[in-house]
Structure 1
Amino acid sequence: MKQYFKIMLMALGTGCLAYSCGKLDLNKPLSTSHGTPGVVTNVKVKNDSAKAILTYSLPQVQDIAYVKAVYSLASGTTREVKASVYDNQLTLDGFGDTLEHVVKLYVVNKAEVASEPVTVTVKPLENPIWGVFRAMKVLPDFNGIRITSKNPSRYNLAIEVLKDSMGQWFPVDGIYTATDSISSPIRGLDTMPKKLAVFIRDRFMNHTDTLFTTLKPFYETAIAKNTHREFTLPGDSPSAWASNKVSNLWDGYTELWPYVNITKDEGKPSVITFDLGVSAQLSRIVIWDYPEYLNSGRAYYYGGNPRKFEVWASPNPPLDGSWNNWTLMATCEEVKPSGLPYGQLTSEDRNLGFAGFNWDLRADVSKMRYIRIKVNQNWAGSYYMALAEVQLYGDPR
């Protein structure tokens, strides 16, 4: 019996060894080498912002796998970029300067044998982070700061902010964006003067100079809801059910039926109006959409949830329902993070909807007291609105 177990163990070991060798074989080149491949010819260089685009002609051989470019960035990092044999173009990215860079081009065959290098020189144009840096403004804002700039090429970048604390610099937050018009707040700062350092970088860790500034954030607090009241004007949209009313928007319930406000769909943009009860320098509004039930769950970006809408404010509106003496505070559009089709949501979509949507309001206007929300399109493609709760922020002092 012992001899039998020894034979079995030897057989298993031999099988495992063979299997292991078989797995290692999978990592071998796709074919045996047919010798060193020829080189690329007719190389042309087009220098562009933070990159260079190379075009070339391939050698007339059958076993080419790809073309590889090897070059160094300003940081000293060596970067490799590859292009398929079915293409004749390489985009070399990651440059942070406008100096000349030597690039070596290799043709690699299916046996992973590389050709002799062909050397070309590129001279990339200015990295877009510098244009964004020159256009950047760092301004005081409610409960923090606001950074504005222009990014016409929609370059993917990060704006890093650091705060001085007893001579040491500590990161506050970052803004990560590829939008063409930047206007982003960084909140959570008190109203004491802050020494800040701000710079811009890209994903290759190229960075601009640093802007140093001292700012004093504006005071901001949640506007108390106990003074809010309905203020229905001519032309405002009626509620769809008696239990749904505008005053439900400040009762503290962010998802429970019937403590919501759902308007009738009258075939035109729906409008509601309410009175804060106090005048305040407004900074932002948080809106909780009503999540209807869908497939045993709750659905945001759905039904009467506002997709494209406007927030208006007035210190003293006319009683005829007209838009005289009303100021447009924000033009808003909800964007589903997942990008999934209507009625399909990820956990990220639900979490953002559950937390409420923050919308910045204009800070360059006087104190306001009355709020109007006008829905131009909901997620169902019609006009009615389905909201659960609102919260205004600002300075009511």
Structure 2
Amino acid sequence: MKKTILKLFSTLLILSMIILSCEDQNENEPLTKDGSVPDPVSNISIVDLAGKSEISYSLPDDKNLLYIKAVYKLDNGTVSEVKASYYKKSLVVDGFATAGAKEVQLIAVSRSEVESEPVTVIINPSESPIYDVFRSLNVGPDFGGLFIEAENPIRKELAILVMEKDDNGDWVDTGNTIYTKTDEIFRTVRGLDTIPYDFAFTVRDRFLNTTDTLFQTIKPIFETEIPASSYSGFPLPGDAPTNDFRFPIERMFDGNFINWPRVFITDASAPAPHSFTIDIGQELKISRVKIWDYPQGTANGFIYYWQFNMRKFEIWGSNNPNSDGTYASWDLLGEYEVVKPSGLPITQQSPEDFEFANAGFDWPIPITAPKYRYIRIKNLENWSGSGRLAIAELRVYGDPR
């Protein structure tokens, strides 16, 4: 009996190996074995765009047609290939850096991977959008570092490289490269000393096209983080209360950025707009207020641009707040709005959206503002359209000297 079982097992094992071997041999074979050559595409039309062109065509009348491919060479010498299934009648060839005539070959491919005669077309895309982004690039000193801003109106996926010289005198990436496809780019690099730094900036797209380089010497402005241990709530008439003991104002200073219920939330029943007041503990020239929104947990992960997180708000400063809670003794320091880099609708967020919010939002205070000890934040609108607010953590930066 044992011999019979072993013999059966051996037979099944051999059969399995044969089947797997056949599958491996057939894995990369064409879908069919029809050797007929498909006709080429016809009736070609071209729409030239920035750094790319859209090519439309009529498909050949061939039941074995599988896809159309375009083969072309980028300005950097890379040969690229784009495919479009037989369901489509157009494709986009992308990745060109400079403007001018470019040659593209269009090839019809059958289910047997037999290719038609290529049809050569000439396209004339304009220069890549990265050059417009580079021309709009503006950099300069900021508190504790530098700022980088640029315009990217068509939301081109790109990187802005921030470079310094290494010990050999070569320009190298500092690790602060900005990856984005937002339309209004504004980023900061922090944690630098108040000494002059030589930087170089260039813009690159995903095809490794690179612009010229902007060289700039930047001397950061002094700032330091004011320890959260010196903050305290300073409730005034008109400020919104919390709705239970779990969400007091002190939750913003406890160093917990994500865990429920370690978050400050105002009571929904309080009339809008909701406001709260903080005693920083000393008068100082405030450079920025940094706020980490509370990430709402959903089935798809954490969502930042959601529910009670602030969307539009004001920051006020005072040294002698009126006890009646009016704003007569307060100075408006700024009006602010949270903008998602991706521009996606509510409940949707891109990886860039997540990283941007997860790092905390820096809200700058005008450099011309005097010193203040008290700040008051008035939430005008949250992401659900009401005045209620939720904040995970808050820090104040500036110069207390």
> The TM-score by the shorter chain falls in which range?
0.7 to 0.9
1:336 shift after superposition: 11
Q: Deviations over 1:21-78 (max 9, x none)?
A: 1443243212222511111112122211000111111122221111110000011111
Would you say how many aligned residue pairs link Structure 1 and Structure 2? Answer: 392
Aligned partner of 1:202 among 184, 193, 205: 205
Residue 192 (structure 2) pairs with residue 189 (structure 1): yes
Given that 1:305 and 1:385 are in contact with CA atoms closer than 8 Å, whether structure 2 keeps it comes out as yes
Given that 1:330 and 1:360 are in contact with CA atoms closer than 8 Å, whether structure 2 keeps it comes out as no
Task: Tell me the residue number matched to 1:374.
Answer: 378
Task: Tell me the residue number matched to 1:63.
Answer: 64
Q: Deviations over 1:272-294 (max 9, x none)?
A: 12232333333333335568999
- Cα 1:288–1:125, aligned 2, differ >3 Å: closer, same or farther? closer
Structure 1: how far apart are the matches of 2:145 and 2:356? 22
Structure 2: how far apart are the matches of 1:46 and 1:215? 43
- Cα 1:253–1:56, aligned 2, differ >3 Å: closer, same or farther? closer
SS at match of 2:177: strand
Indicate the larger mover: 214-223 or 22-31: 22-31
Task: Tell me the residue number matched to 2:49.
Answer: 48
SS at match of 1:206: coil
Task: Tell me the residue number matched to 1:211.
Answer: 214
SS at match of 2:21: helix
Given that 1:249 and 1:261 are in contact with CA atoms closer than 8 Å, whether structure 2 keeps it comes out as no
Given that 1:129 and 1:202 are in contact with CA atoms closer than 8 Å, whether structure 2 keeps it comes out as yes
- Structure 1: runs of 5+ lacking an equivalent: none
1:341 shift after superposition: 8.5
- Cα 1:340–1:26, aligned 2, differ >3 Å: closer, same or farther? farther
Task: Tell me the residue number matched to 2:170.
Answer: 168
Task: Tell me the residue number matched to 2:160.
Answer: 159
Aligned partner of 2:334 among 321, 329, 338: 329
TM-score (norm 2): 0.83
- Cα 1:88–1:317, aligned 2, differ >3 Å: closer, same or farther? farther
Identity of aligned residues (%): 36
Structure 2: how far apart are the matches of 1:96 and 1:346? 26
Task: Tell me the residue number matched to 2:73.
Answer: 72
1:116 shift after superposition: 0.3
1:9 shift after superposition: 4.7
Task: Tell me the residue number matched to 2:287.
Answer: 283
Give the root-mean-square deviation of aligned CA atoms: 3.8
Given that 2:263 and 2:391 are in contact with CA atoms closer than 8 Å, whether structure 1 keeps it comes out as no
Aligned partner of 1:385 among 386, 389, 401: 389
SS at match of 1:125: coil
Indicate the larger mover: 203-212 or 271-280: 271-280
- Structure 2: runs of 5+ lacking an equivalent: none
Letter in 2 for 1:187: R
Q: Matches of residues 264-343 of structure 1 in structure 2 within 5 Å?
A: 264-288=268-292, 301=304, 305-316=308-319, 319=322, 321-322=326-327, 325-329=330-334, 331-333=336-338
Letter in 2 for 1:170: V
Structure 2: how far apart are the matches of 1:4 and 1:246? 73
- Cα 1:212–1:270, aligned 2, differ >3 Å: closer, same or farther? same
SS at match of 1:17: helix
Given that 1:50 and 1:127 are in contact with CA atoms closer than 8 Å, whether structure 2 keeps it comes out as yes
1:218 shift after superposition: 1.4
Structure 1: how far apart are the matches of 2:227 and 2:195? 24
- Cα 1:89–1:217, aligned 2, differ >3 Å: closer, same or farther? same
Given that 2:159 and 2:180 are in contact with CA atoms closer than 8 Å, whether structure 1 keeps it comes out as yes
